[in-house]
């Protein structure tokens, strides 16, 4: 009888130990991927760290749900966070490890409390209650590892280099439609700088034209001719032509208003001035045939290099690591929050597979509970 019970519980014990082992392994490679992203040339793409941290989060979530030996679970938490010391050689990093452990512990308590108080198991709902605390723990650890890894480096080596294509193009493609609806179906690696600036120009002119028309329709009847002309000239930033003055007179006499069009030459002149300003920002001449994605990358790298220039002396070099760390922290929080939705879904899916395989069981219990009447 005892042997039979042992054979039934053995697979579960093996499963629990495998989960804890995989959690520690995933943690090690997560911190390793961060270290490579910081120091290794060409390893700045965030997909590899994202993959390892996703695996880490899923294993951690399953361990919280399935492992019942609390001391063993808490020890696994601490070991998973402490293996980052292979890559961070600073005693102060221990404070971040301790704080992150507290967040993971709080996540575990929140998830367990939801499971224990639920009449029916809804694992995604339970995991969702605590997963954001796990995200905070991860982001704190990554930011701490990044800071203590770069704080002794020269300013030029601290500045990250944004690469073309991949993630950068994806982010720019998300931003373009917010600039103009015309970019909804356009990719940043397909449109040139001249086309991009031309579309921005057309959007501005169209918007200003509508505003001028609305102002004239609501109050032009009470304005004197010179006042109306002055208002339009201020909006357009130039003097009205004779044809445009005739259109304004026709409107004042009761005719329908047609907004004055701006000549192609003025458009080209304005775009040329914009390219001069962009050239100053990029630190090199912008001709107009560059792809928009390349333009954004050149300008961002130029600004980062300008910030990292050692002309401000030692005081600036001390502040730079902190600035970049804060930017990293504020960037990773929303990214981790978004990714955590997939983590909980994958963990719930793996739990379902384990349940179907008979390695995990869900039973119904009768409980006594206090109620207020």
Q: Where are the domains of the chain?
A: 2-150+313-356
Which pLDDT does position 256 carry in this prediction? 45
Q: Which residue did the predictor score with more confidence, 292 or 18?
A: 18
The pLDDT-based confidence of 104 (bands split at 50, 70, 90) is very high
In this predicted model, what pLDDT tens digit does every residue of 45-95 receive, in sequence order?
A: 678 899 999 999 999 999 999 888 889 999 999 999 999 999 988 889 999
Q: What is the mean pLDDT of residues 209-217?
A: 61
Contacts 24+ apart (CB under 8 A), 252-260: 252/220, 252/221, 252/225, 252/228, 257/213, 257/216, 257/217, 259/209, 259/212, 259/213, 260/232, 260/236
Which pLDDT does position 244 carry in this prediction? 62
Nearest 5°: phi and psi at 161? -110, 115
Nearest 5°: phi and psi at 192? -85, 170
Asked if residue 163 has pLDDT above 80, the reply is: no
Alpha-carbon torsion, ordered 188, 191, 195, 201, to 10 deg? -20
Q: What is the mean pLDDT of residues 132-156?
A: 88
Answer yes or no: pTM beyond 0.75: no
Cα distance between residue 341 and residue 351, in whole Å: 16
Q: Which residue did the predictor score with more confidence, 135 or 197?
A: 135
Mean pLDDT score of the chain: 76
Least confident piece of the model among 22-26, 44-48, 194-198, 324-328: 44-48
Which pLDDT does position 257 carry in this prediction? 45
């Amino acid at each position: 009888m005892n042997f039979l019970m042992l054979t039934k519980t053995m697979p579960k014990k093996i499963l629990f130990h495998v989960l804890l082992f995989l959690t520690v392994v995933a943690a090690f490679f997560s911190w390793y991927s961060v270290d490579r992203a910081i120091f290794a040339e060409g390893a700045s793409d965030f997909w590899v760290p994202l993959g390892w941290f996703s695996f880490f989060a899923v294993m951690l979530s399953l361990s919280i749900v399935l492992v019942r030996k609390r001391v063993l679970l808490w020890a696994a938490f601490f070991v998973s966070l402490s293996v980052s010391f292979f890559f961070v050689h600073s005693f102060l990093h221990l404070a971040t490890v301790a704080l992150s452990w507290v967040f993971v512990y709080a996540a575990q308590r929140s998830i367990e409390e939801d499971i224990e108080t639920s009449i029916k198991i809804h694992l995604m709902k339970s995991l969702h209650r605590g997963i954001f605390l796990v995200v905070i723990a991860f982001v704190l650890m990554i930011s701490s590892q990044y800071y203590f890894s770069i704080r002794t480096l020269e300013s030029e080596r601290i500045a990250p280099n944004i690469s073309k294509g991949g993630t950068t193009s994806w982010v720019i493609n998300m931003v373009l439609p917010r600039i103009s609806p015309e970019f909804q179906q356009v990719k940043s690696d397909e449109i040139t700088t001249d086309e991009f600036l031309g579309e921005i120009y057309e959007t501005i002119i169209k918007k200003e034209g509508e505003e001028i028309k609305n102002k004239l329709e609501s109050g032009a009847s009470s304005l004197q001719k010179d006042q109306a002309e002055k208002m339009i000239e201020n909006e357009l930033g130039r003097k009205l032509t004779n044809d445009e003055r005739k259109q304004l007179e026709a409107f004042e006499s009761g005719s329908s208003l047609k907004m004055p069009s701006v000549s192609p030459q003025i458009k080209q002149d304005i775009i040329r001035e914009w390219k001069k300003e962009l050239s100053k920002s990029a630190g090199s001449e912008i001709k107009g045939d560059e792809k928009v994605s390349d333009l954004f990358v050149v300008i961002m790298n130029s600004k980062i290099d300008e910030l990292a220039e050692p002309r401000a002396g030692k005081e600036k070099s001390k502040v730079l690591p902190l600035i970049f760390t804060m930017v990293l922290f504020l960037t990773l929080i929303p990214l981790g929050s978004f990714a955590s939705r997939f983590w909980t879904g994958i963990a719930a899916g793996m739990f379902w597979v384990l349940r179907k395989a008979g390695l995990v069981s869900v039973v119904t219990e009768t409980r006594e509970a206090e109620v207020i009447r």
